[in-house]
Structure 1
Amino acid sequence: MPSYPQFNPLRLRSYIFRLPLCTRLLVAAIIGLWVATIPFPWLREVAALTPDKMDLTQMHRLNLFPVMHLNFLHMLFDVFALTPLLERFEAEFGTIVTLSLFTGPFGLLPGGLYLLLEKVVLRSNTTVMGSSVWVFLLLSAEAMKTHKTNPNFSIGPYKIPTWCTPLLLILLTSFLIPRVSLIGHLCGAAIGYLWATGWMKFLVPHEKILRWLETKLNLLGRLPHYVSVDQKTYGRYGVLPSAVPLGTMPRSPEGGQRLGP
């Protein structure tokens, strides 16, 4: 009989407890807003990105549409897909950078591009919501990084560029899953590609400013699971123990003592 991997709740619990701070906050916001729509279903109408309803008084929709979902399954699948990608992004760039991007440009830019295509090019009025726009944004950025070390992958006799993997996934989900926005996903992927090329680094404050802010507010000491922007100095979760050459360590005149039984 073939053996199948067993679900281990302890490993899942350990993974959840190790999630960095911004990932926790964004996932909690997604789940919390879904819970809030149970007694208040009109919240979906307030947060959804609807082209015909956009004006200067409705700019909040550009920030809220990625964290609002149509139903429980929509929210569940997006959370499962987004969490590992978001955790990896935060581990690389830090909590404060991740929070500033995902509460600002990473909602405004794909949402604004979607509105432009829908109203000007397609002249349509399709409403979108859901964090799958972030999923494909992050997948595209990861695909560009992978492309530098592994430019192609093979399917039979064909070699396919690694960078286009998210585009294939977008097409596949559009065919297999009903009511999926092809244009919305492509807009998220487009911003992900731009981010990976480095053309959008101006959206992030200078690293010296972020370091000063972290030090001034003592964010590493005050916020649990905070990820420093300076990975080389502070590591992932603050100051980590460093290796000391044996010759420079102070020696005790007494022999070593074994710990434990």
Structure 2
Amino acid sequence: MPSFPQLNPLRLRSYILRLPLCTRVLLFVMVALWGATIPFTWLRQWAALVPDQVNLASMYRLNTFPLMHLGFLHMIFNILALTPLLERFESEFGTLVTLALFTGPFGTLPGGIYILLEKGILRSNTTVMGASIWVFLLLASEALKTHKANPNFSIGPYRIPTWTTPLILVFIISFIVPNVSFIGHLCGAGIGYLWALGYIKFLVPPEKILRWVETKLNLLGRLPHYVSVDQKTYGRYGVLPTTAVGLGSIPRSPETGQRLGP
């Protein structure tokens, strides 16, 4: 009989405990907002992106709609899809960059494009919400990275460009999952492609300013699971030792094969 991979609770717990700070915060906000909609049902309508209701007084919707979900299953599926992608992004670019982008341009840009398409071209007013727009944004970014190393993948006799994978998923999900926003997912993927190509990297605050903020506030020392913007100098968990030492002076593990550190 075929053997199926079993879920290891210890590995899952270890993975959750090692999630970086901004990823934790965004996931917590999603769960908290879903919980808040149980007694306060009006919150869902307040946070959703409704094209006809976006004006100067309700621009906040461009940042709140990815954090709000239609229901428990909608939230859970989006969190499961988003968590590994968001964790990888934060580990690469740092906590401050992730926080700045996902509370700003990565919501306003795809949301703004969606409103323009809905009102300007489709003449519609379809409400959207959910973190899937971020899922496709990050998938598109990862697909372009993978495309550089592996330009194509094969399905039978066909060779398909790797960068098209998120677009294929958008089409498939639109057919098999009811009430999903095809246009919204395309908007998210489009911003992901622009990010990976470097066209919107100017949206990230200057690295000198980010380093100054980290040093001034001692974020590495004060915030657990914080990821520095300078991975080469600080690493993921703070300043790494740089003094060369001989192999004989390196402390040995008390047991054969035991790993030291996280």
- The TM-score with structure 2 as length reference comes to 0.93
SS, match of residue 67 in structure 1? coil
Secondary structure, aligned partner of 2:160: strand
Query: Hey, what's the Cα distance between the residues in 1 that align with 2:174 and 2:253?
Result: 61
Aligned pairs for 1:78-97 (under 5 A) are 78-97=78-97
CA distance in 2: counterparts of 1:108 and 1:71, whole angstroms: 23
Paired AA for residue 54 in structure 2:
M
User: Using the alignment, how far apart are the partners of 2:177 and 2:249 within structure 1?
Assistant: 64
1:244 to partner: Cα distance: 2.3
Q: Are 2:140 and 1:140 equivalent residues in the alignment? A: yes
Change (3 A) 1:161 1:258: closer
Task: Identify the residue that residue 201 of structure 2 maps to in structure 1.
Answer: 201
Cα deviations across residues 51-88 of structure 1 (Å, max 9, x unaligned)? 11111111010010000000110000000000000000
Match of 2:162 in 1: 162
Counterpart in 2 of 1:223?
Answer: 223
Match of 2:116, SS state, is helix
Tell me whether 1:36 sits opposite 2:44 in the alignment: no
Partners in 1 of 2:33 and 2:242 — Cα distance?
Answer: 42
User: Any stretches of 5+ residues in structure 1 without a counterpart?
Assistant: none
Q: Looking at CA atoms only, which structure, 1 or 2, has the larger radius of gyration?
A: 1
The whole-number CA distance in structure 2 between the counterparts of 1:259 and 1:5 is 32
Moved over 4 A (4+): 256-261
**1:77 aligned residue:** 77
Give CA deviations for 1:104-162 in whole Å, capped at 9, x if unaligned.
00000000000000000100010000000000000000001111111111111111111
**Residue of structure 1 equivalent to 2:124:** 124
**1:1-20 paired onto structure 2 within 5 Å:** 1-20=1-20
> In structure 2, what residue type is equivalent to 1:21?
L
Could you tell me how far apart the structure 2 residues matched to 1:241 and 1:5 are? 38
Match of 1:67 in 2: 67
Q: Aligned equivalents of 1:105 and 1:233: distance in 2?
A: 27
Give the Å deviation of 1:246: 2.1
Establish whether residue 108 from structure 1 lines up as the match of residue 133 from structure 2.
no
Aligned equivalents of 1:11, 1:129: Cα separation in 2: 31
Partner AA of 1:44 in structure 2: R
Cα 1:245–1:203 shift into 2, 3 Å: same
- From the superposition, tell whether residues 222 and 156 of structure 1 become closer, same or farther in structure 2 (CA, over 3 Å): same
Measured after TM superposition, the shift of residue 257 of structure 1 is 9.5
Give the C-alpha shift of residue 10 in structure 1.
Answer: 1.4
* Deviations, residues 28-51 of structure 1 (Å, cap 9, x unaligned): 001110011111111000001011
One-letter identity of the residue aligned with 1:174: S
The CA distance in 2 between the partners of 1:92 and 1:153, in whole Å, is 25
Looking at structure 2, the residues matched to 257 and 101 of structure 1 have their Cα atoms a distance apart, in angstroms, of 42
TM-score when normalising by structure 1: 0.94
Q: For 1:160 and 1:122, how far apart are their aligned partners in 2?
A: 30
Return the alpha-carbon distance in structure 1 between the equivalents of residues 34 and 44 of structure 2. 9
Gaps of 5+ in 2: 257-262
Cα separation, 2, equivalents of 1:112 and 1:170:
19
- Aligned to 1:159, the other structure's residue is in SS state strand
Inter-partner Cα distance in structure 2 for 1:72 and 1:242? 47
RMSD of Structure 2 on Structure 1 (CA): 1.9
1:244 aligns with 2:252: no
**In structure 1, how many angstroms separate the alpha carbons of the residues matched to 2:253 and 2:144?**
50
Change (3 A) 1:199 1:260: closer
Counting matched residue pairs gives: 256
Instruction: Provide the C-alpha distance between the structure 2 equivalents of 1:17 and 1:91, rounded to a whole number of angstroms.
Output: 14
Q: Which residue in the other structure is 2:235 paired with?
A: 235
- Other structure's SS at 2:65 match: helix
Give the partner amino acid of 2:166: P
